[in-house]
Structure 1
Amino acid sequence: MLPTTLVKSSMRMLLTLPLGFSSMFSDECQPVISHELVALTLESPLIVVAQKGSICCNFVVPIRASDPDGNWEVGAMATLIDDVGAAAIYSVADHVKASLDFNISFHSTARTQEEGEIEAKVIAEKGKLSLVVVEIRRKRNGDYH
């Protein structure tokens, strides 16, 4: 595939994930039941920049993905990180890869309805392995989550 086609495919993959995996690979995009956590973590992404090897989205922390104190659940955050990272890989590899090593550093909490930005960049590829760095920042001041 051409690089621009891969980028468009990765954007489509990310935007149709809440509908289920079958919609990613068909032209019909008929809704199917998907894993609820994926659906709620991806309920509001707005793709800002998508290019070969990177994707950047704005989002709002959904109410349904928060703990009793109103903080963003770390599992929901990890799901978003994994999915946006997969979309960045898809933009260069034309397929989704499994996550083998997943390290997350939490610098602060994010509150329900807080606006954020998530950016994934493919840093390296070697054989079947890809290295992706994903950063989540607050929209209002650029601080890391």
Structure 2
Amino acid sequence: MEKARENLQLTQQESEAVSQLSVPSHLPNVDSSFYEHFCLRGIRVDRVEPGVIVCSFRVPPRLIDKTGKLATGAIINFVDEVGGAVAHVEGLPVAANVSVDMSISFHSTAHADDELEITSKLLGRKGGYTGTVVVLRNKATGELIAEGRHSLFGRHASKM
């Protein structure tokens, strides 16, 4: 328990940095929320094909943990967001699907300014369920950072 408490303590520098954050509110007619601005800013879509999305992302210092590595929460976020994007059904709201299961294998890590390639593939659909796989690689070395399987559910209108 003591080890967990130590890991959660902020240094003076971290405390000052947090106190200086400007957090814009999410208001009607505002294009992005704090979450989108903080976590998703910088993702570039390189290629879109039926069932495949390939993105690039340069790891910013804001997503680095205390050990100097890309935070595991950021990796989980990429699996959720990019996996959800490839599962999107044209003509339905983006929020039409909800995540019901994610399984992520962490193979390596990334550091600030590493360029990542994030590839999401649609595995299939059955009823309201959709399965995707998301792979994060270091773009320069090809090293596998993480691989995630993502299941989503959406109640889609019948086409009949």
Normalising to structure 2: TM-score of the pair?
Answer: 0.66
Indicate the structure (1 or 2) with the bigger Cα radius of gyration: 2
Distance in 2 (alpha carbons) for counterparts of 1:78 and 1:61: 14
Partner of 1:51: 49
Equivalent residues of 1:107, 1:144 under 8 A apart = yes
The AA in structure 2 aligned to 1:31 is: D
Partner of 2:109: 109
The AA in structure 2 aligned to 1:120 is: S
- Deviation, 1:68, is 1.6
- Deviation, 1:112, is 1.3
Distance in 1 (alpha carbons) for counterparts of 2:57 and 2:100: 26
| SS of 1:71 mapped into structure 2 | coil
Which has a greater percent of strand? 2
The AA in structure 2 aligned to 1:129 is: Y
Unaligned runs of 5+ in 1: 1-19, 23-28
- Deviation, 1:91, is 4.9
Total equivalences in the alignment: 119
- Deviation, 1:30, is 3.4
Partner of 2:65: 67
Normalising to structure 1: TM-score of the pair?
Answer: 0.73
Partner of 2:79: 81
Change (3 A) 1:92 1:44: same
| SS of 1:75 mapped into structure 2 | helix
Change (3 A) 1:117 1:93: farther
Partner of 1:7: none
Percent identity between the two aligned chains: 32
- Deviation, 1:35, is 4.5
Distance in 1 (alpha carbons) for counterparts of 2:92 and 2:52: 13
Distance in 1 (alpha carbons) for counterparts of 2:74 and 2:129: 24
Change (3 A) 1:141 1:75: same
Change (3 A) 1:93 1:106: farther
